[in-house]
Structure 1
């Protein structure tokens, strides 16, 4: 067996198990949809007669998410990127993200875009990772702030002493492994990545674009759901809706379904219902949010993706 075949085998196994998990999640979602079809149907009818003003605001907030994502990616790159193609690339990346599981679509499109702009593959991969890390940090910070402002909304799971001991043992084992021969092999990549992060943050304009664009992107998605919730008269305060969305989307990201399709819908609807919203109203809010952020932009986004590939921008 060659080295390429040896390395390809684990990748094939991971892809196999990811596909099985994705299929299992989608089957479970279809089963839930059939079981609660009457609730979904009533929710769709309620969305059809929702307040048009709030829906317009939700649509406007959705449109601004792609320039904010482009701003964040520009902040993660020291060199200047072509602004028009950058925004178009983020629109195409969002569509690809709804086709491939666990955010792989957006990452692949952004990586290809940066390479086409002349960046080395290592620097391009680091830039994509920096953008994703900034978004994750800000998402966690917003959850912490909203959790402190709305106590009792989220219930943290109880962790037993055995689980804590097992976790500490796993961390200790990882440290031991890294302190051996692997440490010498793994030292260069983190050092290079850290040097890249320092270089980006050495330019205040780039740092502001990275963190400001990432923060605006997360807040705008919260605003879309809040506006749709107001349109269907969801009886929850905006801060609570934002907290539930952030928590649900973070939990749904652990399941490798394309764009969180099925997993985010179910988790978010369950979270809104558990917080006190009627099931039909929660279904309306989730349907409206997903319609604006996923289904309506999907075909135009795939068309833009095809155009960018045809023109050599990806």
Structure 2
């Protein structure tokens, strides 16, 4: 990660301007960025706790949520590495494997859905001039249309009937298993959202919103000058598509995607590069630090797991609800 960051910095134009911005950064705004990042991490923990109907103790949800976010930094899986790790841990301590995987898939889909809703809302409101804008209409309308189509398609997919198992063929069975898993996660996501659990909605929104706020604070630390709020949300959301590159923590892809989108929306490259690089220190560093301590606790729990009958009894109601 350090080598990738150094290569990225050295390859960017306007290095002298970036150094000057770092030397004159406002420490109070940087502290605010760190606080916002911590609030984002706690939002994820809230969403995790709610996805499992709050049956696990809050402290265990906190440890598991922090460990999952640490795994997201280390595992190159486009943000799915943390939920996959969490499902593995819960399965090891006695939670039914299907339940752990399905609910974590729902957690990943719900937290990801917030991004698409934000793109749709920011793009639409900016296109209608309800939010200030300084770019062409296609730069805001097209992302809104794309996000709207994705949201409708995801909801329709979640409400559709489960796929039928194919009669034969190894590849067909493999595709059926993958499709069934994604479909089950989508159905569970729709069912959870229908319950309108305020903690789930707050947690998923806070996970996204406070991370956006963290980047906004970094922009302020370097003197402001970022785009208007609607454009800022679009650049942030679309730029994070670079995180899907198969590198730990999305290093390289995320920075390039964010800097590229902010520059495309009119931000000076020096300001965009300095702000994104500083923001990534918080986005990667804080989950790695807190996740490392949480992973030690997870290791202790796996070595000394609670009695399986207690775990099975605690999650029995959730299993029954999912079967119904």
Q: Same fold (TM over 0.5)?
A: yes
Other structure's SS at 1:271 match: helix
- Asked if 1:146 corresponds to 2:122, the answer is yes
Give the TM-score normalised by structure 2: 0.70
- Asked if 1:76 corresponds to 2:33, the answer is no
Displacement of 1:58 in angstroms is 1.3
The residue that corresponds to 1:89 in the other structure is: 64
Displacement of 1:275 in angstroms is 1.9
Equivalent of residue 207 in structure 2, options 212, 217, 226? 217
Distance across 1 between alignment mates of 2:62 and 2:11: 40
Identify the range of structure 1 (291-300 vs 209-218) with the bigger mean alpha-carbon deviation: 291-300
Displacement of 1:105 in angstroms is 3.0
8 Å CA contact retained: 1:268, 1:286: yes
Equivalent of residue 52 in structure 1, options 2, 24, 27? 27
Equivalent of residue 95 in structure 2, options 111, 119, 138? 119
Other structure's SS at 2:244 match: coil
Displacement of 1:220 in angstroms is 0.9
Distance across 1 between alignment mates of 2:187 and 2:268: 50
Within a 5 Å distance, the mapping from 1:12-51 to structure 2 comes to 33-36=9-12, 39-40=14-15, 42-51=17-26
Task: Indicate the RMSD between aligned Cα atoms, in angstroms.
Answer: 3.4
8 Å CA contact retained: 1:234, 1:285: no
Distance across 2 between alignment mates of 1:49 and 1:191: 50
Displacement of 1:146 in angstroms is 0.6
Deviations 1:160-215 (A, max 9, x none): xxxxxxxxxxxxxxxxx9796379976976786577557645754xx332222111
Give 5+ residue unaligned stretches, structure 1. Answer: 1-22, 158-176
Displacement of 1:122 in angstroms is 0.4
8 Å CA contact retained: 1:77, 1:200: no
Task: Mark the CA change 1:127 to 1:53 in structure 2 (over 3 Å): closer, same or farther.
Answer: same
Give the TM-score normalised by structure 1: 0.72
Task: Mark the CA change 1:198 to 1:119 in structure 2 (over 3 Å): closer, same or farther.
Answer: farther
Other structure's SS at 2:112 match: helix
Distance across 2 between alignment mates of 1:179 and 1:300: 43
Distance across 1 between alignment mates of 2:236 and 2:180: 38
Count of residue pairs the alignment pairs up: 266
- Asked which structure has the greater RCO (Cα within 8 Å, sep 6+), the reply is 1
The residue that corresponds to 2:217 in the other structure is: 227
The residue that corresponds to 1:266 in the other structure is: 256
Other structure's SS at 1:266 match: helix
Task: Mark the CA change 1:197 to 1:269 in structure 2 (over 3 Å): closer, same or farther.
Answer: closer
